[in-house]
Amino acid sequence: MALPGLIVFDLDFTLWDCGGLWVDCTSYPFRKREDGRIVDSDGKNLRLYEDVPEILDEIDHLGIPMALASRTEQPAWAQDLLDLMEIRERFAYEEIYPSSKTKHFSRIAAASGVELHQMWFFDDENRNIVEVGEMGVTCVEVRNGLTRAIFDSLMP
């Protein structure tokens, strides 16, 4: 398999763990503690999955653009968390709002100029994998967050 022209990620249960909740079910606002941990207003830890920083570094090194597609009910919360995690600038395209993933991908394709069949998509929800896969995108279901093993299984 060839490298993709664009890699797209879901957020909740794919790139990050919000204490076992979707970001829009946490207690806003979020803050970064002195020890570097990010917590919601109830003190619940919000963190990237362990392998995610290294995977994002590798994708950057390969020069592959990245995008986000999330159907959260609280886009501003997700964007705030991306900023606190200091990863938002890595993503060339953001489609973060409550809507179908097909709409997200249509807009990403139009903005990026990358054809759908040249994209990879990582998400934890099977319904999104099926829906976006029918558009021609290479989709990978991640049940417990993106891991090195999952990512490496696609690498040529």
Task: Answer yes or no: 17 catalytic.
Answer: no
Average pLDDT over every residue of 54-65: 98
Determine which one of 10, 40, 80, 123 is catalytic: 10
Q: Which one-letter amino acid corresponds to residue 147?
A: T
Task: Tell the residue number behind the tokens 């807009």, with chain if given.
Answer: 107
pLDDT in tens, 66-125: 999 999 999 999 999 999 999 999 999 999 999 999 999 999 999 999 999 999 999 999
Task: Answer yes or no: 10 catalytic.
Answer: yes
- Rounded (5°) CA angle 86-150-64: 50
Determine which one of 12, 80, 123, 124 is catalytic: 12
Structural domains of the chain ordered from first start: 6-16+48-152 (3.40.50.1000)
CB 1 within 8 A of CB 26: no
Confidence tier at 1 by pLDDT (50, 70, 90): confident
Contacts of 138 (CB under 8 A, 6+ apart): 1, 4, 117, 119, 120, 121, 154
